[in-house]
Amino acid sequence: MIEFYLNGEKVKTNAAEDTPLLWVIRDEFKLKGTKFGCGISMCGACTVHVDGNAVRSCIYPVGAVKNNHITTIEGLNNSHPMQKAWVEEQVPQCGYCQSGQIMQAATLLAQNADPSDEDIVNHMSANLCRCMAYKRIQKAVKRAAQDSAVGVYEPGSDNQSSGNQSSYNQQVEV
Amino acid sequence: MKSLKALKNQSVDVSRRQFLLGSVGGSLMMAFAPTVLALAGEAQKSLTDKAFSPTIWFEINASGTVLVNIAKAEMGQHVGTALARIVAEELGADWNTVEIKHVDTDPKWGYMVTGGSWSIFTSYKPLSQAGAAGRIALIEAGAKILKVSPADCEAKGGYVISSKGKISFAELVQKVEFNKQFSAEELAALPLKTKSKHTLHGNDFKALDIPAKTNGTAKYGIDVEIEGMVYARPILPPTRYGSKVLSVDDSKAKALEDYLGFEILKDPSETLQGWVSVLAKDYPTAIKAADLLTVKYQAGPTARSMKRLFCERENVR
């Protein structure tokens, strides 16, 4: 039995410890927004946050997230500045990689509130997009940084409903 | 097997169909229908019975939302947005109230291929005419309530507007019992907006399918679950053509609790040659099991050139 927090809620799974976190999120907890891409941590479609850090859930064993706080695209509650910027810049085409792109991008502003173009490329370069939405992704990240010049990523919103104020917030806040 | 051309014609042939408008369940529903199905004066009944052509249909509900059903495959080209915009332009709808719904994969919706750049050029005229038919019906109904001539009205931004006031599409849908049809000839003769009157075409509007692609709610093939389904992981052969599976050893995979077995795919079309499909009760087990199988092949004739390629690459280094 492995316990962890999924978008602020405490959950338990009987999955084997070596099961990739991705499948537990998608198939056991039915949060389908996180996508399966390459399965070998090369494309970034499966990116989620573990205690505020962007990780590739397709190879991250669920046994390694005991008592950790996992945030998925659903956990951003459709209110993250990155999501708004994504709509404003009309980033997605097919959209399959975009949950992962957004989750990856969301951790950038937590570390660097005013990223340069180069910072953005460095932070996002391992998230692949077959539709080649890269320029719009870059613009959207820039826009989100400007829009949230005061308030950086505030993952507290993920946890407020259940009152789980955790180490997750402390690690992410800058 | 039908030719591509035949399928294409089948998917877009609305030229000999009539267009029906009727109040159904509190909404104004509009659709093309095969001529034989819709009898004169029975548009409402035919729509209620769903006796209409599946390829193009849309509705306005009591709150004024225009829902356009899309029977084309979305693959990143925003096809639903493009098709809905054609309807909305002629209808005079407010773009902010337009929604799209991608229908399921039931064969009744017709040939749903995405490719060949057909969707827009084959749908533009019928969808424009469909939107125009809706506009005319809304204007007629609005003119009656506003006590003006239809000629004094226009449909714009979700309203029928005249010099003596305006009425919203939502209110019309609530108040008026629609039951109207256009023959194929009448539909073809409907006046379409001239380019200078276009408010949506050629302008910058946000794609309707994008928000769902930024919050995890967009549904993809991999997100569908069906009761009792199993998961398969393919093992690809060494060459694209001509590979043949000689033997498969799955003894190691059998140790996995949720492993179900494997199949050597037999594809009479020979699109897939020498593929092995590994089956399991869940996705991670299928992946794990596929890695544990040992497959022996008789590779196709290009295997040698592959080998040469790798050798050449080594030499370049």
Note whether B146 and B292 are same-domain residues: no
Whether B111 contacts B6, CB under 8 Å: no
Note whether B132 and B269 are same-domain residues: no
Note whether B240 and B199 are same-domain residues: no
B229 — contact with chain A (CB < 8 Å)? no
Task: Tell me which chain B residues have a C-beta less than 8 angstroms from the C-beta of A33.
Answer: 215-217
Whether A106 contacts A76, CB under 8 Å: yes
- The fold of A2-75 is Ubiquitin-like (UB roll) (3.10.20)
Please name which of B308, B238, B306 lies closest in space to residue B316, comparing C-alpha atoms. B308
Task: Tell me which chain B residues have a C-beta less than 8 angstroms from the C-beta of A34.
Answer: 216
Note whether B285 and B195 are same-domain residues: no
A56 or B74, greater pLDDT: A56
Give the homologous superfamily in CATH for domain A81-147. [2Fe-2S]-binding domain (1.10.150.120)
CATH number at residue B208: 3.30.365.10
The rounded distance, in Å, linking the Cα atoms of A134 and A143 is: 14
Cβ contact (<8 Å) for A90 and B210? yes
Cβ contact (<8 Å) for A102 and B211? no
Whether A92 contacts A102, CB under 8 Å: no
Sign of CA dihedral A12, A18, A24, A25: positive
Within a domain: B219: no
Strands (E), A58-165: 69-71
Strands (E), A14-163: 47-50, 53-56, 69-71
B184 or A104, greater pLDDT: A104
3-state class (DSSP) for residue B48? helix
Note whether B111 and B177 are same-domain residues: yes
Pick the residue of A17, A48, A98 with the most B CBs within 10 A to test the interface with B by mutation.
Answer: A98
Domain ranges of chain A: 2-75, 81-147
> Residue B24 is inside which H or E element, if any?
strand B17-24
Enclosing domain of residue B91: 4-213
Paired with B284 in beta bridges are none
Task: Tell me which chain B residues have a C-beta less than 8 angstroms from the C-beta of A98.
Answer: 213-214
CB-closest option in A33, A36, A131 to B216 = A33
Written as tens digits, the pLDDT of chain B (317 aa) is 455 555 554 444 555 678 889 998 889 989 887 765 555 567 787 777 766 655 567 899 999 999 998 888 899 999 999 999 999 999 999 999 999 998 877 776 666 777 788 888 888 988 899 999 999 999 999 999 999 999 999 999 999 999 999 999 999 999 999 999 898 889 889 989 999 999 999 999 999 999 999 999 999 999 999 999 999 999 999 999 999 999 999 999 999 999 999 999 999 999 999 999 999 999 999 999 999 999 999 999 888 777 777 787 777 76
The pLDDT value recorded for residue A172 is 39
If interface means Cβ-Cβ distance under 8 Å, which residues of chain A face chain B? 19-20, 23, 27, 31-36, 39, 72-74, 76, 78, 83, 86-87, 90-96, 98-99, 102, 131
Distance between first and last Cα of chain A: 33
Place of tokens 């602020």: A8
Within a domain: B220: no
Whether A152 contacts A105, CB under 8 Å: no
Decide which of B213, B247, B272 is a domain's last residue.
B213
Note whether B19 and B58 are same-domain residues: yes
The pLDDT value recorded for residue B19 is 87
Within a domain: B221: no
Note whether B178 and B230 are same-domain residues: no
Cβ contact (<8 Å) for B214 and A92? yes
Distance from the Cα of residue B163 to its chain's centroid: 39
Note whether B306 and B170 are same-domain residues: no
Note whether B192 and B250 are same-domain residues: no
How many residues are listed for chain B in this entry?
A: 317
CB crowding B24-50: b at 16 or more within 10 Å, else e: beebbbbbbbeeeebeeebbbebbeee
Residue A171 has pLDDT above 60, yes or no: no
B108 or A22, greater pLDDT: A22
Q: Are strands A53-56 and A47-50 parallel, antiparallel or unpaired?
A: antiparallel
Decide which of B189, B213, B237 is a domain's last residue.
B213
A57 or B56, greater pLDDT: A57
Q: Which long-range contacts (CB under 8 A, 24 or more apart) does B199-206 make?
A: B199/B89, B199/B156, B200/B85, B200/B88, B200/B89, B200/B95, B201/B85, B201/B86, B201/B89, B205/B85, B205/B95, B206/A87, B206/A90
CB-closest option in A72, A94, A102 to B75 = A94
B233 — contact with chain A (CB < 8 Å)? no
Q: Å from A23 to nearest chain B CA? A: 7
Paired with A17 in beta bridges are none
How does pLDDT run across A86-97, given as a tens digit for each residue? 999 999 999 999
Note whether B105 and B77 are same-domain residues: yes
The number of folded domains in chain B is 2
- One-letter amino acid identity for A12? K
How many residues are listed for chain A in this entry?
A: 174
Decide which of B213, B234, B252 is a domain's last residue.
B213
CATH number at residue B237: 3.90.1170.50
Note whether B164 and B281 are same-domain residues: no
ipTM: 0.86
Within a domain: B285: yes
The pLDDT value recorded for residue A173 is 36
Across the range A75-94, mean pLDDT stands at: 96
- Output the average pLDDT for chain A: 89
Note whether B232 and B193 are same-domain residues: no
How many CB pairs lie under 8 A apart between chains A and B? 67
Q: Å from A119 to nearest chain B CA? A: 22
